Amino acid sequence: MSERVIPPKPLSFPGGIHPAKDGKGLTEHKAVEKAPLLEDYVVLVSQNVGAPPKVTVKKGDAVKKGDILAEAGGFVSAALHSPTSGVITDIGEAPGPMGVNVPAIFIKADGLDEWSDKLPAGLNWREASADELKSRIASSGIVGMGGAAFPTHVKLSPPPDKKIDCVILNGAECEPYLTADHRLMVETPERVLAGAAIMGKILGVENIAIGVELNKPDAIAALEARAQEYGVKIVGLKVQYPQGSEKQLIYAITGRCVPTGGLPMDAGCVVQNVATAAAIYDAVAEGHPLIERVVTITGDIVVNPGNYLVRIGTPVIKLVEWASGVKSEPRKLILGGPMMGFAQKSYNVPVSKNTSGVLLLGGAEIIQYESSSCIRCGMCVRGCPMHLSPGPLSMLIENEKFDLAGQNHVMDCLECGACAYACPAHRPLVQHMRRAKAEIRRAGKK
């Protein structure tokens, strides 16, 4: 393991791609707007990795903003809170981000938007104990807001045999088009920095760094202006996709490699998204649970793309409305960025804790490619941040040689899409990798 902990220079990882069009110009200078209050919210029950939370309200209950809707269903789980004050009109099903209907809580807002009186008081994080801070994070329903939605308090509770000496915040935002984290860092750097410092305190770690891609100089400047008072270092990173992937970020900042199949803690690191850090600060200092987040609504066909502070449970159609609609009919609705986001079939899918962006693609942006045989050009190999050979792997998978694909490390695939982006034969490489991973997992369960 490398001696160097936080190098002073902008760094990167070997491999990766640089998308020709990053689409960030559409929204990177658009200040975050507070979304207007809606009449109806649809809060999906399961918004975290791990056990779904247990619903504690029933139809007809009156709730206040911040009241608990569902309790954590285990240690690896996160509570849910009401985005506004109003009445529970139904507990049923709504379209989920994965394309199937999932359990959801329907809330009719009363328009008062009153905070609950059961909320805990704000803490002075510099004086509070680590356990106090951690239990506050757990009760506030905070999960990884960059996309993984892993309950944050679990990441902050490493097993005792794992020595953590580095907290890394992911402000890379390497996905094209998305600027939610960028604006968050520019506009409220102190929340991000304080959140980082709180995590450092919980883990007893002095080395705290925020990695930001160099295409966000204003975010780097805003953070650096106040970084010292929080004991946080700001690291500029090369603009390279997927710079914000945990393993690549750890390597870029610390020079350490997370062993294959391992977790960041195996390299002594805890990685959190900058939006998560801001939510941690709100929970600790204000006592506010996670009920809203910044979401980028963007795309070339969106009339007025922008960044909005929206409540969890806002149907994405509302974001399209606030962005003044579309110039032409969208062909694809994507939750998240264009590289790893999920295509949706319904505009009624609500914003979840991990929804960083809503992207509408249409017109010339959508080309349905026909894939052809691999010509072994090696562009996928050059692009793969995990140093796999996606092309040859895809041929094994086409022939259903899943055991061989496993031997060739398909399980290490991040599904980042760098290979498929670069492939001149337009092979659906990510789809192949997902299939092999699913098959191998299924075979392992038997």
Partner 1 sequence: MSEENKSAIMMPKADDLILSSSPHIHSDVNVRKIMLKVILALVPALIASVIFFGWDAVRVIVITALSAVVAEGLWLWLAKRPLTPLRDLSALLTGLLLAMNLPSNASWWICVVGGFLAIWVGKQVFGGLGHNIFNPALVARVALLIALPAAMTTWTPTGGLLEKNMRLPSGENVSITTVAESEAPAVISCATPLGEAAELKRTPNGAATFAPITEKSDYVKYFLGERLGSLGETSCLALLIGGIALMFMKLIKWQIPIFFIATVAVFTAIVHLCAPAMTPPPLFHLLTGGLLLGAFFMATDMVTSPMTTGGCILFGVGCGVITCVIRIWGGYPEGVSFSILLMNALVPLIDRLFQLRPFGYVRKRA
What is the number of H-type helices and E-type strands within the chain? 13, 17
Closest alpha carbon to 97 in 301, 340, 442, 309 = 340
Is 97 near partner 1 (CB under 8 A)?
no
Q: Which stretch binds partner 1 (CB under 8 A): 86-94, 110-118, 217-225, 243-251?
A: 243-251
Nearest distance in Å: CB 293, partner 1: 21
Of 31 and 100, CB closest to partner 1: 100
Is 286 near partner 1 (CB under 8 A)?
no
Sign of the Cα torsion 53, 74, 245, 207 reads: positive
Of 345 and 442, CB closest to partner 1: 345
Of 115 and 322, CB closest to partner 1: 322
Build a one-symbol-per-residue string for 15-54: x at contacts with partner 1 by CB under 8 A, - elsewhere. Answer: x-x-xxx--------------x------------------
Of 219 and 265, CB closest to partner 1: 265
Nearest distance in Å: CB 237, partner 1: 17
Nearest distance in Å: CB 6, partner 1: 19
Residues 54-83 binding partner 1 (CB under 8 A) are none
Residues 249-268 binding partner 1 (CB under 8 A) are 251, 257-260, 262
Residue 94 CA from chain centroid, whole number? 21
Pairing status of strand 330-335 against strand 342-344: antiparallel
Of 74 and 262, CB closest to partner 1: 262
Residues 182-221 binding partner 1 (CB under 8 A) are none
Residues 314-333 binding partner 1 (CB under 8 A) are 317, 320-322, 324-333
- The continuous run of DSSP H or E covering 333 comes out as strand 330-335
How far is residue 381's CA from residue 439's CA, in Å, rounded to a whole number? Answer: 23
Q: What is the residue-wise DSSP string for 255-302? A: ---PPTT--GGGGTEEEEEHHHHHHHHIIIII---S-EEEEEEE-TTB
Please give the order of strands across the beta sheet that includes 86-95: 40-44, 101-109, 86-95, 62-63
Cα atoms in the 13 Å half-sphere on the side-chain side of 71: 3
Residues 365-384 binding partner 1 (CB under 8 A) are 365-370, 372-379, 381
Pairing status of strand 101-109 against strand 86-95: antiparallel
Is 401 near partner 1 (CB under 8 A)?
no
**Torsion-angle region of residue 204: left (phi > 0), alpha (psi -120 to 50) or beta?**
left
Of 16 and 73, CB closest to partner 1: 16
